[in-house]
Structure 1
Amino acid sequence: MDPAPAGWFKLDLDASSLGNPGLAGIGDENCNVIMSYSGPAGICDVNKASGPAILFGLHWYEKHNLGPLIMEGDSTNTIVWASNRSGGPWCLSNIIDEIRDLVRILQPRISHRRRSANTMADELAKSGVDRPQVLLSIHYPLASPS
C-alpha cells in the first residue's frame, strides 16, 4: 500500500467471494489506517460485493469530510463503473448510481491496483466472509465535521 500524498487521504477497497456466487465479504482501509472495516456481503459474486464495499467507504468518508481523496481497488469492473457516467450491470444500477453520485460530490482520484498491492484490504475482505456483521475500527479520534 502506497501512502497518500501530503494532505490527501486514501481509500483502499476490496471484496471477496468464495465461489461464483459464494459467500462474500467486504473490506476497506484508509491509508494511514484511520478507519478499517470488514463484513459480510451475503451470497454473491465479487462484482455484487464490491458495490457495497465502495458505498460503505465513500459514505463514511463523506460524513467525516477529511479532504482530498484517492480511491483504489483491485476490481477492474467496479473501478470502471465508478469512473464512468454509464455502464455496469442493470442488477447493480441503483448501487452504481449512488456510487457515481458520491464520486461527483467527493471528486476522488480513482485508480485500479493489483491485488498484490492491496494486501490489507484483501485480508479484511476475506475475513468479512465469516463475520456475522460489519466490524468497524476507528484508529484515532476524528474531528467532527463542521
Structure 2
Amino acid sequence: MIDLYNIAKLFLGCKLGEDCTMAWHNKLGEYGEEKVNRYLLDMGYTVLERNWRVGHRELDFVCLDGEVLVVVEVKTRADDNVSLFDLLDYRKKRNLQAAGAAYLTKKNIHREIRFDLVVVTGASMCLEYIKEAIDLF
C-alpha cells in the first residue's frame, strides 16, 4: 500500500531544497509504479511482467489488453509541470521498441504490440494514461 505521508514528506522535502538523493527518487518511482499496477488491473489488463529486463533495457509493465500486448512505460515525477517530450526522447523510444521486440522474440509471442505511457505527478500522485504514446515507425 502506498504511504501517502511518506510521499508528501518526500515531495515537500524536495520542494524545500532538501537533499533528494537517488534513494528518495527511486522510492517515488516505486510508489508511482505501484499506483499504476493497481490502475492497470482496475482497467481489466492482465499484467504479465513487471520490470522485465533484457541487457540494460527495461520494460516497466508488459500487459494484455484483450489480444493486444501492451508495453507500459511509467514516468513518476514530483513536479506537476512535466513535458512529455522530455520524458520520451528519441533514445528512450528506440530503447523501448528494442526491448519490446526482444520480449516478443524471447517469449516467442506473435501478436500486435502497443506502447503506452503513464505519467504520475505531484504529491497527490495524479495519473495520466496515454495510449499509443510511441510511434513504432
Q: What TM-score comes out, normalization by structure 1 length? A: 0.29
Say which structure, 1 or 2, has more relative contact order (CA 8 Å, 6+ apart).
1
- Larger Cα-atom Rg: 2
Q: What TM-score comes out, normalization by structure 2 length? A: 0.30
